[in-house]
Amino acid sequence: MKCMERGRAATIVKLAWLLAAGCGASEEVRAPSLSRDAGATSESDAGRATESGAGNPSTGSGRDGSTAMGGSTAVGSGSDVGCAQVSVGTERLPVHLAFAFDVSGSMGKGDEKWHDKALKWDPVVRATRAFFEAEVAPDQAGPSLTASLTFFPADDDKCNAQSYREPDVAMTALPSADFADAIAAVEPDSEDDWRGGTPTLAAVRGTRSFVETYRAAHPGRYAIVLVSDGYPQGCDDDDDQIDAVVREAELARAAGISTYVIGVANPKIDGAPDTVSNLGQIAAAGGTEQAYLIDTGDPTATSRAFDRAIAAIRSATFSCSLQIPESPDQRPFDKRKVAVRVVRQGRAEALRYDATCQLASGWRYDDEGAPNEIVLCPATCAAIEAEPGGRLELDFACEDVLYL
């Protein structure tokens, strides 16, 4: 893209996103800074000046506050203006998963044959702990992942959302042993110690409130993960709770928080009721299409199924997005002056702006009215994930290139 206007100075910003392992890789962002060097008079000259290290070093700053020393630009005499480029350190936004975890008696109290601790609680806890504690191989690492854990029902005032506004384990970088300690502490010592009721509405409402408050000071991707083995029960409005939980998931989705659901089914034992089918309504309302329903009866198979569900959720929350850096010359960001392309195997493909993500190769802003992030549409993200080694380039240009 040419970055010259008749008789006027112009600036181009190139933002290079290195995807060494697809969407889950670490990235390097390149943003410009203007400094003068009489030796270059064109865009190509500026590029050569940057590569050779000529000119004055300068710093850039992303909106996340990260900075790095980088190269320089070159500006010629008269009205000819070269394009600037300087490296700026930045990372994809971290992912935060807020778990609401059912610890009611139906998970293992043993008062019914299908409430067998060995078939439900033990394998689910084993798989949950593995997720929180497992190290991720460097070549599979994506953005930093943190999680919180909230148990429900609460010991006191279980039907009040306020009881769940502070998680039992705060947002913690993974892997961590804190979750194992918390789960061990909440596990009942006897049949009489199991908590009663399944106040799903209060738990989801309180968790959503926690996430919205926490997110204000910690930018990133957020999702609620509801783990439960049954219908809402034990509160005054049981008959209306499932619809109310659906509304909570819709509100969270509208605020940019997805809701995932893992339903732990009863073992296939005569008389065991179906208590998880309607959990799919919550997942659909939360923007995640359908619940992950886990069969029980074989503890090993249950653990493996739970592992797969968690892995799918972890993968799904890794969106292809970058925070928009500050303009290097302090000009206001102009959302119309953006072009996006992906470079793979030496071929450059222009991506189209597509606010509804209907195109095969598209991107959008996180907030069209006040954008802070460039977000690749799901199909585009998946294509880049399937072909590691791609590079995403963003040009903040001097001419209008974005058509809203």
* 167 and 307 part of one domain: yes
Does some domain include residue 2? Answer: no
User: What's the number of domains the chain is made of?
Assistant: 2
- CA-based R_g, the chain, Å: 25
Does some domain include residue 6? Answer: no
Q: What are phi and psi of 121, to 5 degrees?
A: -60, -50
Cis peptide before 57 (omega within 30 of 0): no
CA 366 vs CA 154, 357, 371, 372: distances in Å: 35, 12, 6, 7
Cis peptide before 219 (omega within 30 of 0): no
Residue 403 DSSP SS3 = coil
- CA 24 – CA 92 distance, rounded (Å): 9
Does some domain include residue 382? Answer: yes
DSSP 119-169: TTHHHHHHHHHHHHHPPPPGGG--S-EEEEEEEES-SSSTT-GGGGSS-SE
* 175 and 45 part of one domain: no
Give how far the C-alpha of residue 97 lies from the chain's centroid of Cα atoms, to the nearest Å: 8
> Rounded to the nearest 5 degrees, what angle is found at the Cα of 45, between the Cα atoms of 40 and 51?
110
Does some domain include residue 5? Answer: no
Does some domain include residue 401? Answer: no
pLDDT value at residue 55: 34
Please report, as a single letter, which amino acid is at residue 339: A
* 265 and 136 part of one domain: yes
- CA 78 – CA 6 distance, rounded (Å): 11
> Rounded to the nearest 5 degrees, what angle is found at the Cα of 143, between the Cα atoms of 346 and 332?
75
Q: Which of 32, 33, 141 has its CA nearest to residue 92?
A: 141
pLDDT value at residue 318: 61
* 365 and 229 part of one domain: no
- CA 211 – CA 95 distance, rounded (Å): 12
Q: What are phi and psi of 10, to 5 degrees?
A: -140, 160
pLDDT value at residue 138: 43
Does some domain include residue 8? Answer: no
Burial bucket for residue 181 (CB in 10 Å: 0-12, 13-18, 19+): exposed
pLDDT value at residue 135: 64
* 282 and 350 part of one domain: no
CB 203 within 8 A of CB 100: yes
* 223 and 130 part of one domain: yes
* 137 and 160 part of one domain: yes
The whole domain housing 231 covers 95-315
CB 348 within 8 A of CB 341: yes
- CA 384 – CA 23 distance, rounded (Å): 7
3-state percent helix, strand, coil for the chain, nearest multiple of 5? 25, 25, 45
Of 295, 315, 335, which residue constitutes the final position of a domain? 315
Tokens of 43: 């865009």
* 72 and 21 part of one domain: yes
* 147 and 270 part of one domain: yes
- CA 389 – CA 194 distance, rounded (Å): 51
Evaluate if pTM is beyond 0.85: no
* 273 and 246 part of one domain: yes
- CA 309 – CA 315 distance, rounded (Å): 10
Does some domain include residue 388? Answer: yes
- CA 79 – CA 81 distance, rounded (Å): 6
pLDDT value at residue 91: 45
DSSP 339-381: EEEEEETTEEEEEEE-TT--SSSEEEESSSSS--EEEE-HHHH
> Tens-digit pLDDT profile for the chain (404 aa)?
433 333 333 333 444 444 333 333 333 333 322 222 333 333 333 333 333 333 333 333 333 333 222 222 222 223 334 333 332 323 456 789 999 999 999 999 999 999 999 999 999 999 999 999 986 544 444 557 899 999 999 999 999 999 999 999 999 999 999 999 999 999 998 888 999 999 999 999 999 999 999 999 998 889 999 999 988 888 876 667 889 999 999 999 999 899 999 999 999 999 999 999 889 999 999 999 899 999 999 999 999 999 999 888 877 776 577 777 665 556 677 788 777 777 777 787 888 899 998 887 888 988 888 888 888 888 887 776 666 555 667 776 666 777 55
CB 265 within 8 A of CB 259: no
Of 288, 315, 342, which residue constitutes the final position of a domain? 315
Indicate the DSSP class of residue 236.
T
- The CATH number assigned to the domain holding 118 equals 3.40.50.410
CB atoms within 10 A of CB 192: 8
pLDDT value at residue 182: 96
CA 318 vs CA 24, 140, 350: distances in Å: 7, 12, 22
Does some domain include residue 194? Answer: yes
* 297 and 328 part of one domain: no
- CA 37 – CA 72 distance, rounded (Å): 9
Of 287, 315, 343, which residue constitutes the final position of a domain? 315
* 253 and 325 part of one domain: no
pLDDT value at residue 380: 81
